[in-house]
Structure 1
Amino acid sequence: MKLRALAGALMLAGVVAPAFATNGYFSHGYGIKSKGMAGVGYAYGQDALAAATNPANMVLVGSRWDVGLDYFRPQRESTLDSSTPFPGTYDGNDTENFFIPEFGYNQMLSNNMSFGVSVYGNGGMNTDYGDFNSRTSNLVFGNGNLGVDLMQLFISPTLSMKVNENHAVGVSLKIAYQRFKAYGLQNFDNTTWSSSPNNVTNNGYDSSWGYGIGLGWTGQLTPTFSVGVAYQSRTWMQKFDKYKGLFAEQGDFDIPENYGIGFAWKATPQLTIAGDVQQINYGSIKSIANKGTAPWLLGDSNGPGFGWEDITVYKLGVSYDLNKAWTLRAGYSTTDAPYAGTETFFNILAPGVVKDHLTLGATWRMPSGGELSFAYMHAFKNTVNGTGPNADINNTMYEDSFGVAYGMKF
């Protein structure tokens, strides 16, 4: 069984997770159990995906493996008001169904130390407008379908250990792979707009590798109350050479640092309440953070970007052991949209504006010893209305996902 689990990790390492744009372009959580509780996990690890949030929790979940699949369906659109030359609502859902795998394996090396690997999609953003360029007479962006597709995968080998009976620490190497393509932006593929024409659009997928580090601590402060803290560094990625005329800093697209703190309170023997506060620093990545109106060429160091800002995510989840066979979960999270109304034009390509998420989940502990887990997420519809130079451009999004996972302790 252990060899099969390790083989599964290597197979999934070749699969990229697309379009999971919930908190900006990060996922709302990692691991199906966590996703059923709004993504909480700094102080409450539940499976071998725990290292994605807090590496310290791997030694607390013990020897186990988990494999899951999430079906994700985002709905995104942009509306141009009647004051524009091309009024109407434009549907970016020509591609709208995505399947996102995850895998985790953790092995206890001793009573106080574990080594494992977590494989998961960090997020992504995707739009596919079949009608935007044609309905705007090819005058706004270009011709043909309009859209982008960003996909990211993390492979996180993790060493975790108990310092003493009540405290654990962990460290993960964050090995990242990403790929990207853009199409339908021909009007910007020239020396008037770009520092590197022919490296703006319709060049197929480009890919890059990178690395970062994750650190975590979990402390059991009382018999019923624990606290967790984790930090994930900026992930330094190779540049997208095929799109060095589109992204700032000649194709740079690093993954921003994020960190947070959480608690878990076992209110009764059956009921656990957990909460997290997570910070995602989109504003530190120029290709994401630079304003769309920046007075430079696309691809320049200070060239136009999406205008995204840092966001803070608040998560609250509950887990209730109904009986020996069933655990039920629910959660809610909220944040701000990552960009303001002044940035809606460029974000027609990436309208990641959802703020509030409701989740439900459950685990069935099977007589055979395995665990079958489920999670549902609904991200409520939200619109960023354009202001200033983009006063007539409004971006809207809502999402649903359903995931299932199988896990087993050994």
Structure 2
Amino acid sequence: MSSIQGSTLDISLQWAKRITVTALTTAAALVFVAPTAQANNGFNMPGYGTRALGMGGASIALPQDSLAAANNPAGMALVGDRFDVDLTVISADIDLDAAGNGYHDSPLPLVPEFGFNRRLSEDWTAGVSMISNGVELDYGEAVPGYGTTDLKSKLIQSIVHPTLTYRLAPGHYLGASLLLGAQRLRVSGIENLGLERTQGDWATGYGAAFGYIGRLSPEWQVGATYRTPMRFSRFDEYRRLLPEGRIDMPQQAGIGLAYTPNERLTLALDVMWLGWSEENTWGNAFTEGGALGDRDGPGFGWQDQRVLRIGASYDVTPHWTLRSGVSLASKLVSGDESRLAALAPLMGRDHYTVGTSYTLGNGIELNGAFIHMPYEHLHGAGASRGVDVGIGVDMLSFGIGVPL
């Protein structure tokens, strides 16, 4: 028995290696050519995968496709052999009022994602999920107080999750993902902060994520997940702007429940915590005290965030499913931090979603979701007085799932 298990593990690692190389190549290309997400739970999307987005992002205990590793690595154990490609179109309205003058941008970025999963044996699966996060804006002109050229910023991040899962016992699974990330940043129009025009810079990073998912009864399923901080290399061109020139991603944790009272209806609930305040670039206040670029230098002043996601799914027919959900998050940033929020207006908190799926006769799934984030306004105070920022977002997500 031990030799069989060892052989299975070797096969698992070989598959994971192949998948990781392919995914990294794709992610490296996307981080340079793909438009950027206008992320909404801080720097994160409200959920990953079109099906999950249709349910308000609720997914920790309810994996539905091969993007599951981005929500809970253990979920890959339950999605079977499949390949998924999603594309989200984001329409954002961004407003900036500085020194009594108004500025506006309406970016329309496209956000690609994909996933692949393969069952290796009764106990093991190997797969990969690739997601994107980011922010993009261009006010089209210089903004007094910031600089003498057009004020714009763009940060693209792609993260690959090569993932293995293992069955502990019937209905109970563990999952682990290596997180491999690439970032590209370009900021201009902030000469008054000591940064002249740049061509942009890129960084790579790493981390890990772990998860559990278990069947408690025919009706109830539970999930839990934890992601370590992701440590990224330095942006050399921005070492005198960002604390230590880095944009690291925080640790986060979540638990979820899924309840299926009958064969048609499924309800899901997630509770998450994101530790933004622990990372210098995100957590340091604008008035932190140190010089720009120092470890204790000015940052975005974000607070830790708590997120509640609730979703419902109803099978109208064996081929057609409807979904709906809501994601509610705690306050991320105060008006004291609005000066740098003009570069990354990611203070949106609440999302309302609907979605649908239709399965064709050959098993191919067509998925869609609409997500609305109401307009959120940040009124400048303290050292940021006179700088007001607002943002509202609508998203349309489309996906294709292919059984293998």
Same fold? TM cut 0.5: yes
Alignment partner of 1:104 is 2:110: no
- Correspondence 1:89 to 2:102: yes
What is the rounded CA distance, in whole Å, between the counterparts of 1:299 and 1:319 in structure 2? 47
User: Partner residue of 2:141?
Assistant: 131
Residue 15 of structure 1 corresponds to which residue in structure 2?
Answer: 30
Q: Provide structure 1 residue ranges, at least 5 long, that are not aligned to the other structure.
A: 81-85, 190-199
Q: For residue 318 of structure 2, what is the amino acid of its counterpart?
A: K
> 1:88: how far off?
3.0
Query: Is 1:269–2:282 an aligned residue pair?
Result: no
Separation of aligned partners in 1, 2:356 and 2:122: 29
Partner of 2:4: none
Post-superposition CA distance 1:35-65 (Å, at most 9, x none): 1111111100000000001011101111111
Q: How many Å separate the matches in 1 of 2:266 and 2:393?
A: 27
Provide, for residues 275-295 of structure 1, a one-character-per-residue CA deviation record: whole Å limited to 9, x for no partner.
111111110110111110122
Match of 1:36 in 2: 54
The match for 1:209 among 204, 210, 221 is: 204
Distance 1:388 1:254 in 2: 27
- Give a deviation string over 1:1-37, Cα, whole Å, max 9, x none: x9xx979846632213613321111111111111111
How big is the shift at 1:157? 0.6
Residue 324 of structure 1: SS of its match in structure 2?
A: coil
Count of matched residue positions in the alignment of Structure 1 and Structure 2: 383
TM-superposed CA distance for 1:387, in Å, is 2.5
1:116 matched to which residue of 2? 127
Q: Is 1:314 paired with 2:308? A: yes
Write out aligned runs for 1:348-363 (5 A): 348-363=342-357
- Summarize deviations over 1:75-122 as a string: whole Å, max 9, x none: 111224xxxxx31322133xx01111111000000122100011111x
Return closer, same or farther for 1:29/1:125 CA change in 2, 3 Å cut-off. Answer: same
Alignment correspondent of 2:147: 142
The CA distance in 2 between the partners of 1:299 and 1:110, in whole Å, is 50
Match of 1:345 in 2: 339
Whole-Å separation in 1 of the counterparts to 2:109 and 2:173: 36
- State the secondary structure of the residue aligned to 1:344: helix
1:15 match: secondary structure:
helix
Shift of 1:166: 2.1
Could you say which residue in structure 1 is the equivalent of 2:231?
236
User: Structure 2-normalised TM-score?
Assistant: 0.91
Matches within 5 A, 1:9-408: 9=23, 12-13=26-27, 14-16=29-31, 18-80=36-98, 86-93=99-106, 96-121=107-132, 123-133=133-143, 136=144, 140-189=145-194, 200-249=195-244, 251-408=245-402
The residue type paired with residue 167 of structure 1 is H
Q: Match of 1:53, as an amino acid?
A: N
Cα distance change on mapping 1:331 and 1:201 into 2, 3 Å: farther
CA deviations over 1:169-225 (Å, ceiling 9, x no partner):
100000011110110011121xxxxxxxxxx34212211111100000011111111
Query: How far apart, in 2, do the equivalents of 1:12 and 1:272 lie?
Result: 34
Q: Where is the helix percentage greater, Structure 1 or Structure 2?
A: 2
1:253-282, CA deviations, whole angstroms, 9 ceiling, x for partnerless residues? 111111101110002210000011111111
RMSD, aligned α-carbons = 1.7
In the TM superposition, what is the alpha-carbon distance from 1:227 to its structure 2 partner? 0.9
Inter-partner Cα distance in structure 2 for 1:10 and 1:340: 37
- Asked if structure 2 preserves the Cα contact closer than 8 Å seen for 1:181 and 1:201, the reply is no
